Structure 1
Amino acid sequence: MSDPTAFLAGQQYVELTTFRRNGTAVPSPVWIAPDGEDLLVVTVDETGKTKRLAHTSRVELRPCDVRGTVAEGAPRFAATATVHRDKAAVARVKRAIGAKYGWWYRALTTVEPALDRLPGRRKRAAIVLRDVVPLG
């Protein structure tokens, strides 16, 4: 595969696997969008994904369906992930996801500004994926 980043960017859903301190893999289906050389994922901050990425930047990626089901023989990739919480990074990932997923993403996020003002509402975070390489 000549460009693993482009391949993953073209997928509707990707299984993002993060790792616990003991090495246990924890997969999550996510939307993913390209932006330059990076792949971007938007998530709620202070979730398991962001907590696990605080201690290891290693992730694995595989194409999947909306439920996270990975087809037999699907290619697997390794990447380096960083979590960004600043407004500019979150805006960047929202733009990229919105551009890729269009009306579906906009429909899901229409009420987000109002919800963000509610007490206890968790903020969004941007996950930036780089250095994508195929695994075995």
Structure 2
Amino acid sequence: MTALPTTRYVSLTTFRKSGAAVPTPVWAAPDGADLVVWTRADSGKVKRLRHTSRVTVAPCDVRGNLQGEPVDALARLLPPQEWRTAIAPLARKYGWQWRITYGAGRLVGLLRRQERRAMIRISPAS
């Protein structure tokens, strides 16, 4: 089993129903052998994950330029009751930047009275 990248940004590639790959640079924090990612619930990557859990991840820069080889993995959307344990690694890795970003997203969700966030757990493919 190949380890998942633990760089500041990773390129998360999800797949459309047609099979076309869609890479997106994201923050991802290691949580054991897995990675956790936080994103908007209405994002394209969340919609594509509802179709297929197959993804690839690769180290990249903030613009998504790959800095290593992609690794095959499986992703799943976490139910809200699992968020607390998934948030901790992100808070540790990104510190004050995480707190500001997460806090702003949470405030907007409260004001609009709807959940706008999603947590994703990425595991190495067997």
Which TM bucket (shorter chain)? 0.7 to 0.9
Measure how far apart 1:132 and its partner are. 4.5
Amino acid at match of 1:118: L
Aligned residue type for 1:39: L
2:78 maps to 1:78: no
Give matches, 1:40-55, under 5 Å.
Answer: 40-55=36-51
Q: Is the 8 A contact 2:3 2:124 kept in 1?
A: no
Query: Residues 31 and 132 of structure 1: is their aligned pair in 2 closer, same or farther, counting only changes over 3 Å?
Result: farther
Residue in structure 2 matched with residue 96 of structure 1 by the alignment: 89
Q: TM-score normalized by structure 2?
A: 0.87
Larger-Rg structure: 1
TM-score normalised by length of structure 1: 0.81
Structure 2: 5+ residue stretches without partners: none
Indicate the residue corresponding to 1:109 in structure 2.
Answer: 102
Give the whole-Å Cα distance in 1 for the aligned partners of 2:66 and 2:34. 23
Alpha-carbon RMSD across the aligned residues, in angstroms, is: 2.0
Structure 2 CA distance for aligned equivalents of residues 117 and 110 of structure 1: 11
In the alignment, is the contact (CA less than 8 A) between 1:13 and 1:32 conserved in 2? yes
Q: Is the 8 A contact 2:105 2:116 kept in 1?
A: no
Unaligned runs of 5+ in 1: none
